[in-house]
């Protein structure tokens, strides 16, 4: 009986902490730096304000995405480095992604001034894995989402 009660209690604690994950709020996403490494690679550092109401540290352990323009693969992004988000806090969070351009000629045709690009021209497939300090993980997936809509959600 004690084992059953213990298992039920553990399940409730885990379920409660995971349900709070949906209450995490990401605000004010900004490009902190953009460093062109070669004609087809770049590092992109993003900074945002994150409100974590859960009682666990949140760690983005993996994230990757495929950016498409006009149905054609344009670039891939892979998480290189990220911060830990402390529990019950609102803090600045930074993540560094490596961007690999699939077609450098398309990049040159669009112009190197990223601020002039129209985000509504791009779609993204992305997957991120968030780990809780207690050991649980949760995968978040986006499939064929307009980049503009994803940025507006954040």
Residue ranges per structural domain of the chain:
2-153
Statement: residue 17 has pLDDT above 80: no
3-state secondary structure of 4: helix
* Spacing of C-alpha 117 from chain mean position: 21
43 and 32 in contact (C-beta within 8 Å)? no
Beta strand extents in the chain (DSSP E only): 25-36, 41-52, 58-69, 72-82, 84-85, 89-101, 122-132, 137-146
49-94 confidence digits (pLDDT tens): 889 888 888 888 999 999 888 788 888 999 999 888 899 999 898 9
CATH number of the domain at 2-153, please?
Answer: 2.60.40.10
């Amino acid at each position: 009986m004690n084992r059953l009660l213990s298992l039920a209690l553990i399940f409730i604690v885990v379920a409660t902490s995971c349900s709070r994950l949906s209450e995490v709020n990401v605000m004010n996403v900004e490009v902190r730096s953009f460093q062109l490494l070669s004609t087809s690679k770049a590092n992109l550092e993003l900074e945002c304000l994150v409100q974590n109401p859960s009682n666990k540290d949140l760690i983005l352990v993996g994230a990757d995405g495929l950016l498409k323009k006009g149905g054609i693969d344009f670039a891939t992004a892979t998480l290189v480095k990220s911060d830990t988000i402390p529990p019950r806090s609102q803090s600045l969070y930074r993540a560094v992604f490596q961007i690999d351009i699939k077609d450098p000629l398309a990049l040159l045709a669009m112009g190197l001034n990223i601020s002039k690009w129209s985000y509504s021209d791009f779609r993204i497939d992305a997957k991120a894995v968030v780990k809780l300090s207690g050991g649980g993980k949760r995968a978040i997936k986006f499939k064929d989402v307009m980049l503009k809509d994803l940025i507006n959600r954040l």
